[in-house]
Amino acid sequence: MRSVSISQVNKAGKRLAKLLAAVVDGSVNLDQLTDQEWEPVLADVQLLEDWRERHARPLRATNASLRHYIRPFSALNAVDVSVTQRLKKVSTILDKLDRYPTMPLSSMEDIGGIRAVLPSQAASDEVARRLRKNWKVHRYRDYVREPKESGYRALHLIVVKQGVKIEVQLRTVLQDFWANQVERDSRYLRVDFKSGAGHDAVHAYYLSMSELLKMREASEEPTEDFMVELMRRYTLAKPYLASSLDEEQP
């Protein structure tokens, strides 16, 4: 892997974001670019790929260290705590540059990501506390006490490892179930619900489901009015959900 500077990375990201915007507004047609015009574009993409690969080793190191912190909760609850990692795909990085054209590529905090699914919110909170005490944490977001407008809940830590930022997500089982369902619907229906696209009825249903799962985790019983509203929202959203496609299969 080539060594690339932050300046090179940011300049490449800025040029690629500008090109993507031109493709979207129709002022540039990629099929009409000459070989000579493609050369700097491919050079920028290679810089992006080198920067992406720069996160691979720190990602593995962060994963190994995180497992040390979550192991006691796995043993205590006699369950295997799920830990997964991924490097964001080049196409996904480009999509994010298109959505956030003024964001420096080196500031993208989730090129390398790790997700741990823990047995309870108390376990997630304790792991987060220990990480904040012992790791170099650049940013901490508590989407449990202050969930996203979509209803998404989790704890996010942006940690600095070997000179790059790695995103660590801590979720409970039900928080992970909710997020995976949104991604499943997005994938099946080719609608980016996660980013706010799609029918309003679907987002209203997701929000209610997030509230219901929060109650379940806290061993709280939902009110009758809440359940009536949840079913109403489900009825409105059902035609736009992946589950409705499953029901149509023979």
The answer, yes or no, to whether residue 247 has pLDDT greater than 50, is no
Higher pLDDT, 165 or 246: 165
Model confidence at 245, pLDDT cuts 50, 70, 90, reads very low
Q: For residue 236, what pLDDT is reported?
A: 95
DSSP string, 67-124: HHHHHHHHHHHTSPPEEEEEEPPHHHHHHHHHHSTTS-GGG-TTSEEEEEEES-HHHH
- Altogether, the residues listed in the chain come to a count of 250
Model confidence at 147, pLDDT cuts 50, 70, 90, reads very high
Average pLDDT over residues 196-201: 90
Residues 6+ apart with CB under 8 A from 149: 207
Cα dihedral 242/169/128/145 (nearest 10) = -40
The answer, yes or no, to whether residue 243 has pLDDT greater than 60, is no
Coil vs helix vs strand at 205: helix
Residue 49 appears among annotated catalytic residues: no
Q: For residue 248, what pLDDT is reported?
A: 43
| pLDDT 10s digits, 85-112 | 999 999 999 989 988 989 999 999 999 9
Q: For residue 41, what pLDDT is reported?
A: 95
Q: What's the number of CA atoms in the CB half-sphere (13 Å) around residue 127?
A: 31
With a pLDDT cut of 70, the percent of the chain lying above it is 93
| pLDDT 10s digits, 14-48 | 999 999 999 989 999 999 999 999 999 999 999 99
Q: For residue 101, what pLDDT is reported?
A: 87
Average confidence score pLDDT of the chain = 91
Give the H or E element holding residue 227.
helix 224-237
Q: Output the six-digit token pair for 228.
A: 């009536």
| pLDDT 10s digits, 106-145 | 999 999 999 999 999 999 999 999 999 999 999 999 999 9
Higher pLDDT, 195 or 156: 156
The answer, yes or no, to whether residue 249 has pLDDT greater than 90, is no
Q: Quick one: which of 140, 120, 117 has its CA closest to 128?
A: 140
The answer, yes or no, to whether residue 77 has pLDDT greater than 70, is no
Q: Single out the catalytic residue among 167, 217, 220, 229.
A: 167
